[in-house]
């Protein structure tokens, strides 16, 4: 697409023609998107939906907003709601807002975005150094995050990456093997990679020749990240406490792959607890047996899950 004298001029390339040529055994259809209901209906009946958004701009025309125009956000939201396997392609010359850049499954809603310094999600806190001002501008953040909320809007967890220059997430999606986020990343030193969990990531390298010299620097690169959720433990309920000989026993339901630490105390007022043991759950009932101390009339237990 080009823009001349504030009039949109579409270049002759055709995504429909290209997709049809690349996927000869698949049926590729086109819907203009002028009718939201028709677009949603077509998306619902398709295996994969692809939505194209655009933002015309030129040297002689400043953007009024970073938002997509002509209700394109509503179109993207309608298609994505009808088909979970929706791909969004943006033909823009600069960053745009993406209010639809979230994903959901039966367990909750996932949101991706960018931040600097720190951000809080309920009692959850993520933090990273602030590399400010970003070379993209004063209103751009330099670090990426993905957060999950339950269906009532309560924050469940938040995770962030860390780049010594810039890393931004531009979208998030759910799949059968986890949660995926995509965006851009850039570093400036081969010894300082961007960090995403235990993974170190570099951006694209570029060699620039001038005269008899050469310079190597890093440019922006595409970023695709997979987030594997850790299981979330439910509150522990102690079951069937009883005395068996000189021991005290109780049970609790232990979820799979959750670490449970059993602690004891003889005096709740002291606030002091001792670790008695630990077990890793396997979706079975765990029974704990502990000797009754001879020098105390009371023995208290608590089970903490991680």
pLDDT in tens, 166-216: 888 878 888 777 788 888 888 877 778 888 877 888 887 777 777 777 777
> Would residue 234 count as lying in a domain?
no
For residues 123 and 203, state if they share a domain: yes
**Has residue 4 got a pLDDT over 50?**
no
Q: Which of 229, 254, 279 represents a domain boundary (last residue)?
A: 229
For residues 22 and 107, state if they share a domain: no
Q: What pLDDT shows up at residue 3?
A: 46
**Has residue 118 got a pLDDT over 90?**
no
For residues 291 and 181, state if they share a domain: no
Helix (H, G, I), strand (E, B) or coil at 20: helix
For residues 107 and 218, state if they share a domain: yes
Q: Which of 229, 261, 278 represents a domain boundary (last residue)?
A: 229
The whole-angstrom separation of Cα 28 and Cα 141 is 38
Q: What pLDDT shows up at residue 230?
A: 64
> Would residue 272 count as lying in a domain?
yes
> Would residue 192 count as lying in a domain?
yes
> Would residue 181 count as lying in a domain?
yes
In this predicted model, what pLDDT tens digit does every residue of 87-106 receive, in sequence order? Answer: 888 888 777 777 666 777 77
Q: What pLDDT shows up at residue 251?
A: 93
Q: What pLDDT shows up at residue 71?
A: 81
The whole-angstrom separation of Cα 270 and Cα 246 is 25
The stretch 215-228 carries a mean pLDDT of 81
For residues 46 and 119, state if they share a domain: no
Residue identified by tokens 């007022």 is: 269
For residues 206 and 126, state if they share a domain: yes
Q: Which of 100, 116, 148 represents a domain boundary (last residue)?
A: 100
For residues 224 and 109, state if they share a domain: yes
The whole-angstrom separation of Cα 67 and Cα 186 is 24
The whole-angstrom separation of Cα 13 and Cα 160 is 38
Structural domain containing residue 271: 239-305
For residues 114 and 218, state if they share a domain: yes
The whole-angstrom separation of Cα 20 and Cα 265 is 70
For residues 3 and 95, state if they share a domain: yes
What pLDDT band is residue 2 in, cutting at 50, 70 and 90?
very low
> What whole-number percentage of the chain has pLDDT above 90?
10
In this predicted model, what pLDDT tens digit does every residue of 227-245 receive, in sequence order? Answer: 877 666 677 888 999 999 8
The whole-angstrom separation of Cα 146 and Cα 164 is 18
Please give the tally of structural domains in the chain: 3
pTM above threshold 0.75 = no
For residues 266 and 206, state if they share a domain: no
For residues 214 and 120, state if they share a domain: yes
In this predicted model, what pLDDT tens digit does every residue of 256-297 receive, in sequence order? Answer: 777 788 888 888 888 888 888 888 888 889 999 998 888 777
- Residues counted in the chain: 306
């Amino acid at each position: 697409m080009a823009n001349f004298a504030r009039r949109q001029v579409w270049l002759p390339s055709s995504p429909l023609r290209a997709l049809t040529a690349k996927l000869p055994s698949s049926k590729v259809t086109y819907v203009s998107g002028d009718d939201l209901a028709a677009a949603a209906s077509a998306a619902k009946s398709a295996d994969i939906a692809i939505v194209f958004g655009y933002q015309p701009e030129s040297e002689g025309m400043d953007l009024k907003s970073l938002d997509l125009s002509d209700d394109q956000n509503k179109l993207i939201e309608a298609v994505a709601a009808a088909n979970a396997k929706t791909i969004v392609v943006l033909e823009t010359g600069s960053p745009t807002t993406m209010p639809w850049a979230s994903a959901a499954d039966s367990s909750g809603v996932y949101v991706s975005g960018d931040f600097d310094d720190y951000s809080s999600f309920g009692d959850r806190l993520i933090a990273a150094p602030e590399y400010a001002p970003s070379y993209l501008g004063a209103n751009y953040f330099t670090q990426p995050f993905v957060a999950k909320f339950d269906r009532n809007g309560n924050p469940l967890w938040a995770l962030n990456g860390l780049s010594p220059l810039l890393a931004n997430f531009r979208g998030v999606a759910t799949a059968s093997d986890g949660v995926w986020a995509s965006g851009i990343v850039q570093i400036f030193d081969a010894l300082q990679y961007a960090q995403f969990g235990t993974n170190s990531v570099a951006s694209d390298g570029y060699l620039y020749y001038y005269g008899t010299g050469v310079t190597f620097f890093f440019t922006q690169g595409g970023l695709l990240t997979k987030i594997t959720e850790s299981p979330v433990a439910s509150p522990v309920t102690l079951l069937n406490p009883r005395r068996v000989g000189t021991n005290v026993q109780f049970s609790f339901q232990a979820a799979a792959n959750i670490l449970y630490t059993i602690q004891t105390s003889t005096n709740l007022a002291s606030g002091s607890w001792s670790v008695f043991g630990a077990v890793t759950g396997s979706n079975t009932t765990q029974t704990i047996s502990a000797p009754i101390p001879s020098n105390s009339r009371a023995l208290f237990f608590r089970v903490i899950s991680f």
